Every structure is written in C-alpha cells, then in structure tokens.
Amino acid sequence: MAERLTGHTELVGLIAYPIRHSSSPAMHNEAFAYLGLDYAYLAFEVDNSTLEDAVKGIRALKLVGSNVSMPNKTVVGKYLDKLSPAAELVGAVNTIVNKNGVLEGHCTDGIGYMQSLKDYDIDVIGKKMTIVGAGGAGTAIEIQAALDGVAEMSIFNIRDKFWDNAQETVRKINEKTNCKAKLFDLADKDALRAEIESSYLLANSTGVGMKPLEGQTWLPDASYLRPDLIVTDTVYAPAETEFLRIAKQVGCKNMNGFGMMLFQGAAAFKLWTGQDMPIEHMKEVLGIKYGE
C-alpha cells in the first residue's frame, strides 16, 4: 500500500490562475520526499474572484501555508494578518505562512535573487547595482537588495504603466533603507552607459528576451559592458537570453533566472518546514544550471 500520504500529511498550496504549468509542485514535492518530510504541495486554480474564500480555506483546513502567484500577489495582502517588511514594501506576497491560524505574508522573490547571488559567490552588498525593470520581479529585487545593504541603485524603466511604480519604489527605498536609489528613463542612453560604468552589477528584470520578445534586448550594444561587470537576468526560458549572450561574449560573469526561481522556493520551504531545501539535489534533479 502507498504510504507517502497519510492522515498526518501536512498540506501546502499554490493559489494562482493559470497555474497548471508551474514547476513549483514538482520542486517542493521532490524536496519533501528527499528529506522524508510528511508534507504535500498542490496547485489550486484561484483568481481574484475566489481569493478571499481560498485564504479562509487555508485557515479553516489548517494548511501549513501557500505560495501565491499571478493574479493574486498584489491583492492577497488585505486578507492576511501580518506582512513581512519586504512584502509590505514591495506590495506583493508570494508566500503565506500559517502560524496557528495567524496568516503571515512574505515576499521571497527578492530573497531568492539575493540568495542566488550568494550561492554563486557574487557579493553586491555595499556596492552599486543598475537594474532595468520595475515590474513584479524588479520591485521585489530592488526592495530586498536595498534592505540587504546594497549601497547604491540605479533603476531604469521605459515610460510605460510601470513608471509610476518605479518612482514609488525609489521613494520607498530612499525613505526606508540606507540605499541611495535613482530612477532613469531607459531611453537616456548616456545615463545608461554612465550608470553601468560605475556599477558592480547589471540586472535585467524585464521580460525582454523571453517570448514574445525572445532574441531581443534593451542593451544597445556590447560596448556598454566590460569583462569585470556581473550580469544577471530574471528570465530563465530561454536559459540564455540575447542580453546574456552578449554578456558572455564580453566575458562577464553571468547568471540567468533559474537561481532566483530555485531560491525563492527554498526561502518559502524554510518558512513552512523550518528546514533547508536540499539545494544541490534540487539543481541536479531539476537540471538547473544558472551561472557561467
């Protein structure tokens, strides 16, 4: 008889829509099984119209917690009891932890990005970074990097619907952290060159480079990079974007978005179970290679 799931098994959810394509259930269930933890992780199709009931369900059914993805990340906070400093500042929750009926909201995307840098021996603390993009992924990275001690941050964005959010993020960083943040229009190529030149790390947090913008990059050309610049991308499909292809050509140490994806999961896993995700095992099983 199968013994994997019993009457004692604890459940972790994932509430989003669409969500059937997600790799998170495979990742967390593999980690539970590998460590012999009596937990299961299941995805539930929940959008904004059923979100409040789903959160009530987490309480009523005593789930250990849940991941939260689109379109619920920026909405779910109002149904929770507490928010972590990062979730509060980012204005988004990707992880719920149920502490005896008290639901805490966390944002582990930025933690995942910062941890993936560490795992790859990149130390941006006390230094300057330039980051392009101020959407969901960008904001999480920017806030966490500032909270963790990045000294200076130059954020570039196009003048689209995310511009106001970028301004708000810069305001929050300068007001609530010791990091000095500035916002630039991505159309200002002189500023882009100057800010990259004085940075230790350059990050892409836009979807430029993945479908439908695969093969494209906002980077004008390779002359903006130098071999000792660290270059990272949040995109992991494809594993090598046009941006990373150019960085590799220049000889930059570089990293794609697999690391952020893995470590945001590891941070949530730790919050639910108190245990470290078996990172090296996960990299092997999931075939993850994120840096060169």
Is 261 a binding residue for ligand NAD by CB under 6 A? The answer is yes
CB of 29 to ligand NAD, least distance (A): 18
Q: State yes or no: residue 234 binds ligand NAD (CB under 6 A).
A: yes
For the CB of residue 95, give the shortest distance to ligand NAD in the complex, in Å: 13
Question: By CB under 6 A, which span of 27-35, 80-88, 95-103, 234-242 interacts with ligand NAD?
Answer: 234-242
Are the C-beta atoms of residues 37 and 11 closer than 8 Å to each other? no
Residue of 184, 218, 269, 272 that binds ligand NAD (CB under 6 A) = 218
Judged by CB under 6 A, does residue 210 bind ligand NAD?
A: yes
Instruction: Find the part of the chain contacting ligand NAD (CB under 6 A) among 22-30, 59-67, 130-138, 143-151.
Output: 130-138
91 is a site residue for ligand NAD (CB under 6 A): no
Of 98 and 132, CB closest to ligand NAD: 132
192 or 210: CB nearest ligand NAD: 210
Of 60-68, 85-93, 168-176, 254-262, which part binds ligand NAD (CB under 6 A)?
254-262
Answer yes or no whether residue 71 interacts with ligand NAD by CB under 6 A.
no
Task: Give catalytic residues, as residue numbers.
Answer: 73
Residue from 13, 91, 110, 133 in contact with ligand NAD (CB under 6 A): 133
Of 98 and 157, which CB lies nearer to ligand NAD in the complex structure? 157
Print the SS3 string covering the chain: CCCCCCCCCEEEEEEECCCCCCCHHHHHHHHHHHHCCCEEEEEEECCCCCHHHHHHHHHHCCCCEEEECCCCCCCHHHHCCEECHHHHHHCCCCEEEEECCEEEEECCHHHHHHHHHHHCCCCCCCCEEEEECCCHHHHHHHHHHHHHCCCEEEEEECCCCCHHHHHHHHHHHHHHCCCEEEEEECCCHHHHHHHHHCCCEEEECCCEEEEEEECCCCCCCHHHCCCCCEEEECCCCCCCCHHHHHHHHHCCCEECCHHHHHHHHHHHHHHHHCCCCCHHHHHHHHCCCCEC
Nearest to 144 by CA among 267, 15, 269, 271: 267
* Residue number with CB closer to ligand NAD (39 or 243): 243
Task: Tell whether residue 57 is a contact of ligand NAD (CB under 6 A).
Answer: no
Residue numbers at the binding site for ligand NAD (CB under 6 A): 109, 133-138, 157-158, 160, 162, 186, 205-208, 210, 218, 234-236, 257, 260-261, 264
